[in-house]
DNA sequence: TTTTTTAGTGTGTTCGAGCACATTTTTTGT
DNA sequence: ACAAAAAATGTGCTCGAACACACTAAAAAA
């Protein structure tokens, strides 16, 4: 039943040599109809599963996987990804796989393109990309496609038939989750949706979250709330945001669509007499600090570490164990408050 | 730097044979001080990591791991565990590991003990147990210990120096999480903590959750709430519970410490004019249905599937890759509402 | 009929670790 | 000094898949 058969076993059973069995299994070379039938008969009865260990031992081909993501020194948001990739490296170090990480400057499309060129020069078997820049990504993917390099993406979704896989989160639904939590904290009043970002590279990201957030309130017909959208940059938060709070005395809640909730929380902490509910994204240290202080009510965990890990590991398992690469992996939308945060911070 | 060295490489570098290198690495047999020094010199310079694939190919020892858990046909709560174990079986089927599952009747300590005896007769290398019965577990673990069989546990924590590892959740903290959510839904009124269970086998489980739940309200000095504890059995829910609701007109919220929230929700759905917040455990189908209907507000996901998977996989990796078995793995306390539930249901 | 081609089949080596066994070297005892 | 024992070291086989190569037999060409 669960006995493990080897090629040798099959050969003996079919009364041929292991070479012939091998030829049938990989349909290479010529095999007589007689031998083919005998072997197929055996294969139909037993359930042959090649020993992946033995296969991998013999396999001298070294697979190269390149990962491209923004420099975590420029944006610490990407730090967990590095850990996730490190996990994958550790896990697969025994196998003939090389996993290399490349960083680009998230503020520069040029840097993105030039680092891609650098990767292409390495002629990898596959790449995992955080496609921050939509247009440039579509462009560069053509090149990968021509070179028959498998392209996986994570964090940002880019539509392209050349992309084998995407690992990320349903942003629209994560907006809805945030809305459902906000609706639990508040009963009425004004809610601001704040987008904080230097450039527009996260535009789609942020819009999807806003859509989901607004859709929840529309759908539930929660007419006691009024929703406002506000766009801020790092540089003008300290001036524009306090003014906004001043102008909107009925403001009760804020949904921050990026990982910069701590910047809002920091400003709010200096404004007395205003209790405003905050919901943001990502368990970066500063956010968790404000969560523990009670200034941030909920964080939505996007689990970038696991995103990056899965992005790499599905590729490795594809090469080593011939597993299918899943087209999309949507990670759960983890709801974090002060009580369960410690279990998610790795 | 990252070059992979083989025993043969080391032998050549040290000017000895691979046999001698092997003896040094495993300190078996006699080696002259001269040879030892030469080999150690080489080992200090390079970073030798044995090829686990090759090691495993050669290794003819078949490891046997037995898993013991309640029959999922008697209590569907355990169904996800079976899937988790199945995942592990699939993942490691290439290796020389046999993973066998045994069921016992969760209502019978006798069944628990006799199934354990059955497992012992298989003389496994390790077991993973859901130790539902505390006293009997302590008893049976002695036997495993004498036979030098590694014992891992999951779901229920049992203190014993003979237990190598525990995979589960911090129940006290999960109670706190539930409390924090309840505090968000309600502003005041009576809250019932309901324990639903046939026997007392989950007593410690439920008590821990209650402690955490109550502690949260105590700590925050939320004096607008009053907390009551109610113990129910499957058989008397339909009579006792409606009476309880009747008697307590100020009842606003219920925290169900087991996975039977659906039974409470079912009764509540037939009682008109009472809006009572429900928080329970586990994403079993019936619970998720009530979550979608809006009768259950939050579920806490205990992720039994992953518990079982990790319980097995840490053992397998210990045998195959000589990894350490972590003493305790506490899974995150996932907060589930109607908006994010779909991502957790596997 | 003999030679050449090709279809069909089997044998042997490789991957790296692990271990049994054989061989060589050194030490001990007489 | 020489045999015997002990210590040290080297050799060779195994695990299972993969593939190169060698070989046989039958068919095609000369």
Of B51, B216, B333, the CB nearest to A94: B51
CB-strand contact A3/D, under 7 Å: no
Decide if A252 contacts A188 (C-beta within 8 A): yes
Q: What is the pLDDT of residue A24?
A: 93
Any domain includes A212: yes
Q: Please give the full DSSP string across B148-173, using - where no structure is assigned.
A: T-EEEEESS----TTEEEEEE--HHH
Could you tell me the sign of the dihedral formed by the alpha carbons of B337, B341, B343, B344, in that order? positive
Task: Please give the share of chain B, as a percent, with pLDDT higher than 70.
Answer: 98
Query: How far is residue A229 CA from its own chain's centroid?
Result: 27
Could you tell me the sign of the dihedral formed by the alpha carbons of B8, B13, B19, B21, in that order? negative
Least confident of A147-151, A227-231, A234-238, A303-307: A234-238
Examine the domain organization and report whether B144 and B178 are in the same domain: no
Task: List chain D nucleotides near protein: any atom < 7 Å from a Cβ.
Answer: 7-12, 14-21
Residue contact A337–B335, C-beta within 8 A:
yes
Residue contact B340–A173, C-beta within 8 A:
yes
Give the H or E element holding residue B34.
helix B33-45
* A16's tokens: 């041929």
Strand B298-301 versus strand A97-104 pairing type = unpaired
User: Looking at residues A311-317, what average pLDDT do you find?
Assistant: 96
Any domain includes B98: yes
Decide if B109 contacts B133 (C-beta within 8 A): yes
Examine the domain organization and report whether B164 and B310 are in the same domain: yes
Distance B229 CA to D3 C1' (A): 90
How does pLDDT run across B80-126, given as a tens digit for each residue? Answer: 999 999 999 988 888 889 999 999 999 899 999 999 999 999 999 99
Residue A200: pLDDT band with limits 50, 70, 90: low
Distance B27 CA to D15 C1' (A): 23
How does pLDDT run across A123-181, given as a tens digit for each residue? Answer: 999 999 999 888 899 999 999 999 999 999 999 888 888 899 999 999 999 999 999 99
Examine the domain organization and report whether B140 and B183 are in the same domain: no
Examine the domain organization and report whether A44 and A132 are in the same domain: no
What are the beta bridge partners of residue A195?
A231
The residue whose CA lies nearest the C1' of nucleotide D13 is B58
Examine the domain organization and report whether A155 and A195 are in the same domain: no
Whole-prediction pTM value? 0.91
> What mean pLDDT is reported for chain B?
92
How many beta carbons lie within 10 A of that of residue A269, not counting itself?
11
Rounded to 10°, the helix A237-247/A261-269 angle is 60
CB-strand contact B58/D, under 7 Å: yes
Any domain includes A340: no
Q: Please determine, for residue A201, whether its predicted confidence score (pLDDT) is greater than 70.
A: no
Distance A56 CA to C21 C1' (A): 29
Any domain includes B227: yes
* B284's tokens: 């079993």
Distance A118 CA to C17 C1' (A): 37
Closest CA to A67 of A110, A118, A135, A142: A118
Give chain B positions within 8 Å (CB) of A53. 53, 56-57, 94-95
How does pLDDT run across A248-303, given as a tens digit for each residue? Answer: 999 999 999 999 999 999 999 888 777 899 999 999 999 999 999 999 999 999 99
Residue contact B52–A344, C-beta within 8 A:
no
User: Looking at residues A318-329, what average pLDDT do you find?
Assistant: 92
Decide if B196 contacts B256 (C-beta within 8 A): yes
Query: How far is residue B119 CA from its own chain's centroid?
Result: 20
Of A52, A94, A216, the CB nearest to B94: A52
Say how far apart CA A99 and CA B32 lie, in whole Å.
40
In chain A, helix, strand, coil percent, each to 5? Answer: 45, 20, 35
Strands of chain B, DSSP E = 63-70, 97-104, 126-129, 150-154, 163-168, 189-196, 225-232, 251-256, 277-281, 298-301, 328-330, 334-336
Q: Please determine, for residue B253, whether its predicted confidence score (pLDDT) is greater than 90.
A: yes
First-to-last alpha carbon distance for chain A, in angstroms, is 42
- The chain A residues in contact with chain B (CB within 8 A) are 49, 51-54, 56-57, 93-95, 98, 170, 173, 176-177, 179-181, 184-185, 216, 321, 330-340, 343-344
* Contacts for A149-152: CB closer than 8 Å, 24+ residues apart: A149/A120, A149/A123, A149/A124, A149/A125, A150/A125, A150/A126, A150/A315, A150/A318, A150/A325, A151/A126, A151/A127, A152/A126, A152/A127, A152/A128, A152/A311, A152/A314, A152/A315, A152/A325
The nt closest to A58 (CA vs C1′) is C15
DSSP one-letter code for A106: T
* A194's tokens: 């704040």
Give chain B positions within 8 Å (CB) of A98. 2
The more confident residue out of B200 and A181 is: A181
Q: What is the pLDDT of residue B141?
A: 94
The nt closest to A53 (CA vs C1′) is D16
Q: Please determine, for residue A232, whether its predicted confidence score (pLDDT) is greater than 70.
A: yes
Q: Please determine, for residue A29, whether its predicted confidence score (pLDDT) is greater than 90.
A: no
Any domain includes A337: no
The more confident residue out of B135 and A82 is: A82
Closest CA to B335 of B230, B185, B217: B185
**Which residues in A20-52 are b (16+ Cβ under 10 Å) and which e?**
bbebbeeeeeebeeebbebbeebbeeeeeeebb
User: Looking at residues B3-31, what average pLDDT do you find?
Assistant: 91
Any domain includes B258: yes
Least confident of A176-185, A271-280, B224-233, B335-344: A271-280
To the nearest whole Å, the CA of A180 is away from the closest chain B CA by: 7
Examine the domain organization and report whether B92 and B111 are in the same domain: yes
Say how far apart CA B62 and CA B231 lie, in whole Å.
47
The radius of gyration of chain B's CA atoms, rounded to the nearest angstrom, is 26
Least confident of A235-239, B7-11, B64-68: A235-239
Residue A112 contacts by C-beta under 8 Å, 6 or more apart in sequence? A104, A105, A132, A133, A136
Of B177, B179, B339, the CB nearest to A177: B339
Q: Is A241 left (phi over 0), alpha (psi -120 to 50) or beta?
A: alpha
Examine the domain organization and report whether B274 and B310 are in the same domain: no
Any domain includes A252: yes
**Which residues in B221-244 are b (16+ Cβ under 10 Å) and which e?**
ebeebebeeeebeeeebeeebeeb
Q: Is A344 left (phi over 0), alpha (psi -120 to 50) or beta?
A: alpha
Q: Please determine, for residue A107, whether its predicted confidence score (pLDDT) is greater than 90.
A: no
To the nearest whole Å, the CA of A175 is away from the closest chain B CA by: 10
Overall number of domains in chain B: 3
CB-strand contact A19/D, under 7 Å: yes
Say how far apart CA A146 and CA A92 lie, in whole Å.
28
Q: Please determine, for residue A30, whether its predicted confidence score (pLDDT) is greater than 80.
A: yes
Residue contact B57–A52, C-beta within 8 A:
no
Examine the domain organization and report whether B294 and B176 are in the same domain: yes
How does pLDDT run across B266-307, given as a tens digit for each residue? Answer: 999 888 777 899 999 999 999 999 999 999 999 999 999 999
Q: What is the pLDDT of residue B58?
A: 85
* B116's tokens: 């354990």
CATH number at residue B191: 3.40.50.2300
What are the beta bridge partners of residue B97?
B63
Residue B2: pLDDT band with limits 50, 70, 90: low
Task: Please give the share of chain A, as a percent, with pLDDT higher than 90.
Answer: 74
Examine the domain organization and report whether B41 and B113 are in the same domain: no
Residue B29: pLDDT band with limits 50, 70, 90: confident
Examine the domain organization and report whether A198 and A288 are in the same domain: yes
CB-strand contact A173/C, under 7 Å: no
Examine the domain organization and report whether B90 and B237 are in the same domain: no
Of B184, B331, B340, the CB nearest to A332: B340
Residue that has been written with the tokens 């199934």 in this structure: B115
Angle value at C-alpha A228, between A224 and A234, nearest 5 degrees: 145
- The chain B residues in contact with chain A (CB within 8 A) are 2, 49, 51-54, 56-57, 93-95, 170, 173, 176-177, 179-181, 184-185, 216, 321, 330-340, 343-344
Say how far apart CA A130 and CA B167 lie, in whole Å.
33
User: Looking at residues A67-72, what average pLDDT do you find?
Assistant: 96
Q: Please determine, for residue A52, whether its predicted confidence score (pLDDT) is greater than 60.
A: yes
Q: Please determine, for residue A182, whether its predicted confidence score (pLDDT) is greater than 70.
A: yes
Say how far apart CA A125 and CA A63 lie, in whole Å.
6
Residue B200: pLDDT band with limits 50, 70, 90: low
Cα nearest neighbour of B343 on chain A: A332
* Burial of B24 from C-beta contacts in 10 A (0-12 / 13-18 / 19+): buried
Q: What is the pLDDT of residue B21?
A: 95
DSSP one-letter code for A196: E
Cα nearest neighbour of B177 on chain A: A339
Residue contact B53–A331, C-beta within 8 A:
no
Of A56, A338, A344, the CB nearest to B332: A344
Q: What is the pLDDT of residue A2?
A: 63
Cα nearest neighbour of B213 on chain A: A339
Examine the domain organization and report whether B155 and B235 are in the same domain: no
Whole-angstrom CA distances from B235 to B147, B170, B241, B287 are: 42, 29, 11, 19
Task: Show the domain range for B115.
Answer: 63-168+305-329
Decide if B241 contacts B234 (C-beta within 8 A): no
Q: What is the pLDDT of residue A274?
A: 78
Say how far apart CA A130 and CA A181 lie, in whole Å.
29
Angle value at C-alpha A160, between A154 and A165, nearest 5 degrees: 40
Residue contact B340–A333, C-beta within 8 A:
yes
> What mean pLDDT is reported for chain A?
92
Decide if B318 contacts B285 (C-beta within 8 A): no
Give chain A positions within 8 Å (CB) of B336. 335
CB-strand contact A39/C, under 7 Å: no
CB-strand contact B269/D, under 7 Å: no
Q: Please give the full DSSP string across A24-93, using - where no structure is assigned.
A: HHTT-S---HHHHHHHHHHHHHS-----HHHHHHH--PPEEEEEEEE-TTT-GGGHHHHHHHHHHHHHHT
Residue B309: pLDDT band with limits 50, 70, 90: very high
How does pLDDT run across B55-86, given as a tens digit for each residue? Answer: 888 877 889 999 999 999 998 889 999 999 99
Question: Which residues 45-74 of chain A have a CB under 7 Å from nucleic chain D?
Answer: 50-51, 54-55, 57-59
Any domain includes A344: no
């Amino acid at each position: 039943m669960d006995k493990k058969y080897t090629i040798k076993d099959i050969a003996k059973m079919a009364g041929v040599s292991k070479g012939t069995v091998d030829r049938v299994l990989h349909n290479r070379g010529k095999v007589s109809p007689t031998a083919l039938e005998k072997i197929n008969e055996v294969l139909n009865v037993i359930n042959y599963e090649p020993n992946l260990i033995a296969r991998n031992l013999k396999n001298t081909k070294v697979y190269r996987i390149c990962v491209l993501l923004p420099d975590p020194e420029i944006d610490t948001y990407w730090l967990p990804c590095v850990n996730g990739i490190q996990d994958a490296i550790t896990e697969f170090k025994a196998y003939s796989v090389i996993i290399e990480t490349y960083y680009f400057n998230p503020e520069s499309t040029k840097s993105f393109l030039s680092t891609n060129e650098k990767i292409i020069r390495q002629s990898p078997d596959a790449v995992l990309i955080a496609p921050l820049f939509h247009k440039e990504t579509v462009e560069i993917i053509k090149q990968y496609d021509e070179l028959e390099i498998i392209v996986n993406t994570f964090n940002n979704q880019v539509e392209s038939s050349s992309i084998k896989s995407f690992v990320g989160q349903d942003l629209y639904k994560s907006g809805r989750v945030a809305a459902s939590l906000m609706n639990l904290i508040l009963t009425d009043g004004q809610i601001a949706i704040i987008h904080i970002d230097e450039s527009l590279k996260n535009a789609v990201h942020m819009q999807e979250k806003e859509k989901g957030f607004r859709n929840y309130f529309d759908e539930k017909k929660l007419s006691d709330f009024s929703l406002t959208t506000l766009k801020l940059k790092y540089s003008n938060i300290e001036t524009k945001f306090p003014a906004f709070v001043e102008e909107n005395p009925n403001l009760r809640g804020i949904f921050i669509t990026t990982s910069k909730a701590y910047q809002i929380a920091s400003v709010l902490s200096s404004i007395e007499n205003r209790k405003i509910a905050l919901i943001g994204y990502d368990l970066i240290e500063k956010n968790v600090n404000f969560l523990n202080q009670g200034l941030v009510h909920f964080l939505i965990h996007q689990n970038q570490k696991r995103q990056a890990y899965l992005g790499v590991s599905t590729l490795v398992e594809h090469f080593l164990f011939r597993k299918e690469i899943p087209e999309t992996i949507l990670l759960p939308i983890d709801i974090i408050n002060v009580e369960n945060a410690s279990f998610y911070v790795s």
